[in-house]
Homo-oligomer: A and B are copies of this chain.
Amino acid sequence: MRDFVTINEVGPRDGLQSQGKTLDVNQRLQLIQALLDCGIRSIEAGSFVSPRAVPQMAGTGELFGQLPQRGEIAYSALVPNLRGYELAREAGVRSVAVVLSATETMNQRNVNMSLERTTEVCAELMQRARADGLEGRAYVAVAFECPFEGATPPAVVESLSRRLFEAGARKVIVADTIGAANPASVRRVLERLSDLDAVQLSCHFHDTRGMALANVLASLEHGVREFDSSIGGLGGCPFSPGATGNLATEDLALMLGAMGLDTGLDVFALCDAVQVAQVLTGTPLGGHSHRWLQRESAKRREVQHA
Contacts and interface: CB of A to CB of B under 8 A. Distances in A.
A259 B217 contact: no
Contact of A292 (B183, B208, B258, B259): B208
Contact of A182 (B208, B258, B291, B292): B258
A288 B242 contact: no
Contacts of A88: none
Interface residues of A, number: 30
A255 B182 contact: yes
Interface in A126-184: 179, 182-184
A176 to B, nearest CB: 12
Contacts of A260: 184
Interface of A: 179, 182-185, 207-211, 213-214, 216-218, 242, 244, 248, 251, 254-255, 258-260, 287-289, 291-292, 295
27 contacts: A182-B255, A182-B258, A183-B255, A183-B259, A184-B259, A185-B258, A207-B288, A208-B289, A209-B251, A209-B254, A209-B255, A209-B288, A209-B289, A210-B248, A210-B251, A210-B288, A210-B289, A211-B213, A211-B254, A211-B255, A211-B289, A213-B213, A213-B214, A214-B255, A217-B217, A217-B218, A242-B292
